[in-house]
Structure 1
Amino acid sequence: MQDIKEMTKTAYKFLKQRDFKNAYKELMAAYDVDPNNTYVLVGLGETLRKQKRFDDALAYYYKAYELEPTNRFAMLGIGDSYRGLKNRDKALDIWLKYLKVNPRDYSITTRVADAYKQVGDLHAAEKYYFAALEINVNNKFALMGLGDLYYKQGNYSTATVYWEKLLKLEPHLINILTMLGNIYRKKHAYEQAVGFYERALKLDSENPYAIFGIADSYRGNRQYQEALEYYDKMKIIDPKNPKIWTRYGDCLIHSGKFSEAEEAFRKGLGVHAGKYGWYGIAKVRELEGKVDESIEILTNIIAEEPEDERPHMIIADLLMKHYPDKVGTYVEETLKKFPHFTHLNHWFTEAMMHQFEDDVEKM
């Protein structure tokens, strides 16, 4: 009969090959010989955990842990099993005990930070991410986690610091490249955003997040022809997204292609009967010199959503440009109905001030 050492050696060889059936068979044979052998108990836990039999695995890990409370493999197995069961509280409990014994293990320190972030304790998460980086400044998972933590808090500038450090270590992370592109796009740093999206597209030329992001960045930077090229790709990838059609239409307006722009807006309305397509068509009508039709479209939007301040402001602006004698009455009547329209009130005050200054200049 083989001794336990040989049986466990054979079992771990099977385990490494992911031959769980034979690994389990060898380990159970060893268990029958010595049910208190922690090496065998941990091996059984590993074999079962890797098959996602987390509850069964825990029984063996806990037995090893009770026999040897500082057994790092038993503690790690317990933590990973609870993580597999999505029981973060119990995973955290054992990981924190583990770190008292193994305080320099930055991978588990990072897992603790991740767990705290997932349960919403962001202060504790930040503390453990920093601790992990003190142990290993090049800890990629801690850099990723910190970037994600700050991003979700809206602290985009700090998020970029950690994600850009991460990219120096791992330059092929498409999701981080696109997220950085998104951050710079939100900050209107369009050229930097394009740089990150282009890097993502070199890795995956069909990545929809990078394609949409680069299209939007070119649009924000008023490079409408370049934007149209990428929106054309997005129309194929996601034809039922009305946002793509309205932004595509906006680029066509700025390119002087009014009929094509209206067609794009109407396709967007065919997907989703929202107001943004109508805003686009109203703009087309204005540029075609059909101001009354533009105002009529905006009035219809107001009929559907009277509390939306934007169409009121657009009408006021159209009246100021084309029917200046009517704008005062329109704004006054609108503000009587909606006194909380602070943007309209401010806009009208500014417009009247500029009008007064122009009149003085002409005297």
Structure 2
Amino acid sequence: MSEELKPDEFNFSQAHDYSQNFSADTTAISDLSKKGYLYLKDNNIKKAIEAFRQILLIEEDNNYALVGLGDSERKQGHYKEAIDYYSKCLSCHPGNNYALFGLADCYKAINQYHKAIEIWEQYLVHDDTNITVLTRVADAYRKIRDFRKSKSLYLKVLDMEENNAYALIGLGHLHYDFKEYKDALFYWTRMLEMNPLHVDIRVLTSIGNCHRKIKTFEKGLPYFEKALEFDPNNFYALFGIADCYRGMNQQFRSIDYWNRILELDPKNKVILTRTGDAYRNTGDYATAAEYYNRAMDIDFDIYAALGLALICKGEGKFKEAADRLQQLVNGDPKNYRLYIDLADCYLKMGKKKEALETLQSFQRLGIKNQAVNDFAEQIQAG
């Protein structure tokens, strides 16, 4: 049994010194913490780290310093280091909300959504009304393609705050990701109606993209044009306008917008090929071939190669077109479009048997395609 400390043995002078030191340390920690977070707010990461490390020299497991160092590393994209600091804080101070938030955000940033969800849900056990956390969990469920849980949480946020922008945008993305374009359009349109004069350009392009997907191109066009007023070089707006004109079969109108993208990104194979398609559809085969060849010079592109074959076909060079298409079929045997174009070349050369055999070779692959079946029946009937 330990002996009790007797009153006359207690050193009041030492106790007074300890009290003074403790008070001084507390003041120093408070001042350094304020400085650190101000530096962090001003994006002066180096100074912030210095301040937080000075705190740890006074108190090695100080929660403000550990979270501050975690935030400093996270701001620099050093997620592993940030995770270490947040985890150390939580081991000393379980349930620290700032460490939990930071840790979850780190896992989200490195695409470890399941871990992020696990951490956020720890928080929701104690407070299931925090809108910020609810939307983040909903976002994470969306990223792992859990439609039901994601939608449920977004809708819960809207029940709490009818026009919450994060929930509306999240629901728009969720339905878009699952190809429910009309539902996505509903939520993004609500975003636009909330603030029509100062709408985010991404809302405009998202609405336009929904119209592209449901092939109401003429309705999508004004949204992309409005987005272009905000940012004349916006890739999504330029692409959207060009693609809407393409969908409306007004290829000649799309050419200017494809070329504007190429001014900004001259090595973009997809855009080079789309521009080639536009020129080919207007009958300018020479210019179309230039764009297709520019794409092919970067790297082999099946659509550029197909475009060059279709130019041969358009110029009446059916044998050359058929040879090019046969090579493409050999490299991509499941692409039904190649078989249709190849069969059509044989028909134009008067080779009905070869045309039918081409389509039947695709049918033997066991892939059902109505366009191929219809063309084969048309040849047999003729």
For the residues of structure 1 that align with 2:337 and 2:123, how far apart are their CA atoms? 57
Amino acid in the other structure paired with 2:321 = S
Query: CA separation of 1:300/1:13 partners in 2, compared to 1, >3 Å: closer, same or farther?
Result: closer
Unaligned runs of 5+ in 2: 1-19, 40-46, 74-81
Further displaced range: 204-213 or 93-102: 93-102
For the residues of structure 1 that align with 2:327 and 2:90, how far apart are their CA atoms? 67
Q: Which residue of 2 aligns with 1:144?
A: 169
Query: CA separation of 1:137/1:298 partners in 2, compared to 1, >3 Å: closer, same or farther?
Result: same
Pick one of 195, 209, 217 that aligns with 1:182: 209
1:200-229, Cα deviation, whole Å (9 max, x unpaired): 323332222332232222122122232110
Q: TM-score of the superposition, structure 1-length normalised?
A: 0.76
Q: Which residue of 2 aligns with 1:350?
A: 378
Pick one of 110, 127, 140 that aligns with 1:115: 140
Q: Which residue of 2 aligns with 1:285?
A: 312
For the residues of structure 2 that align with 1:168 and 1:4, how far apart are their CA atoms? 54
For the residues of structure 1 that align with 2:85 and 2:305, how far apart are their CA atoms? 60
1:98-177 residue pairs with structure 2 within 5 A?
98-169=123-194, 171-177=198-204
Pick one of 268, 273, 293 that aligns with 2:295: 268
Q: Which residue of 1 aligns with 2:241?
A: 214
Q: Which residue of 1 aligns with 2:77?
A: none
1:266-302, Cα deviation, whole Å (9 max, x unpaired): 3333233334334323333343344444334334434
Q: TM-score of the superposition, structure 2-length normalised?
A: 0.73
Query: CA separation of 1:307/1:149 partners in 2, compared to 1, >3 Å: closer, same or farther?
Result: closer
CA contact (8 A) 2:113 2:140 kept: yes
Q: Which residue of 2 aligns with 1:359?
A: none
Q: Which residue of 2 aligns with 1:360?
A: none
Pick one of 226, 248, 255 that aligns with 2:275: 248
CA contact (8 A) 1:116 1:125 kept: yes
CA contact (8 A) 1:76 1:95 kept: no
- Is the counterpart of residue 75 in structure 1 residue 97 in structure 2? yes
CA contact (8 A) 1:113 1:124 kept: yes
Q: How many Å apart are 1:185 and its aligned residue? A: 1.6
Query: CA separation of 1:164/1:210 partners in 2, compared to 1, >3 Å: closer, same or farther?
Result: same
Pick one of 13, 21, 24 that aligns with 2:34: 13
CA contact (8 A) 2:67 2:86 kept: yes
Q: Which residue of 1 aligns with 2:10?
A: none
Query: CA separation of 1:114/1:266 partners in 2, compared to 1, >3 Å: closer, same or farther?
Result: closer
Q: Cα RMSD between the aligned structures?
A: 3.4
Query: CA separation of 1:218/1:91 partners in 2, compared to 1, >3 Å: closer, same or farther?
Result: closer
Q: Give the secondary-structure state (helix, strand or coil) at the position aligned to 1:205.
A: coil
Between the aligned residues of both structures, percent identity stands at 27
When the two structures are aligned, how many residues end up with a matched partner? 336
Q: Which residue of 2 aligns with 1:48?
A: 69
Amino acid in the other structure paired with 1:114 = D
CA contact (8 A) 1:78 1:94 kept: yes
For the residues of structure 2 that align with 1:197 and 1:158, how far apart are their CA atoms? 19
- Is the counterpart of residue 340 in structure 1 residue 364 in structure 2? yes
Q: Give the secondary-structure state (helix, strand or coil) at the position aligned to 1:50.
A: helix
Pick one of 309, 313, 326 that aligns with 2:340: 313
For the residues of structure 2 that align with 1:88 and 1:290, how far apart are their CA atoms? 54
For the residues of structure 1 that align with 2:335 and 2:158, how far apart are their CA atoms? 48
Q: Which residue of 1 aligns with 2:220?
A: 193
Pick one of 276, 281, 298 that aligns with 2:325: 298
For the residues of structure 2 that align with 1:172 and 1:349, how far apart are their CA atoms? 52
Further displaced range: 77-86 or 87-96: 87-96
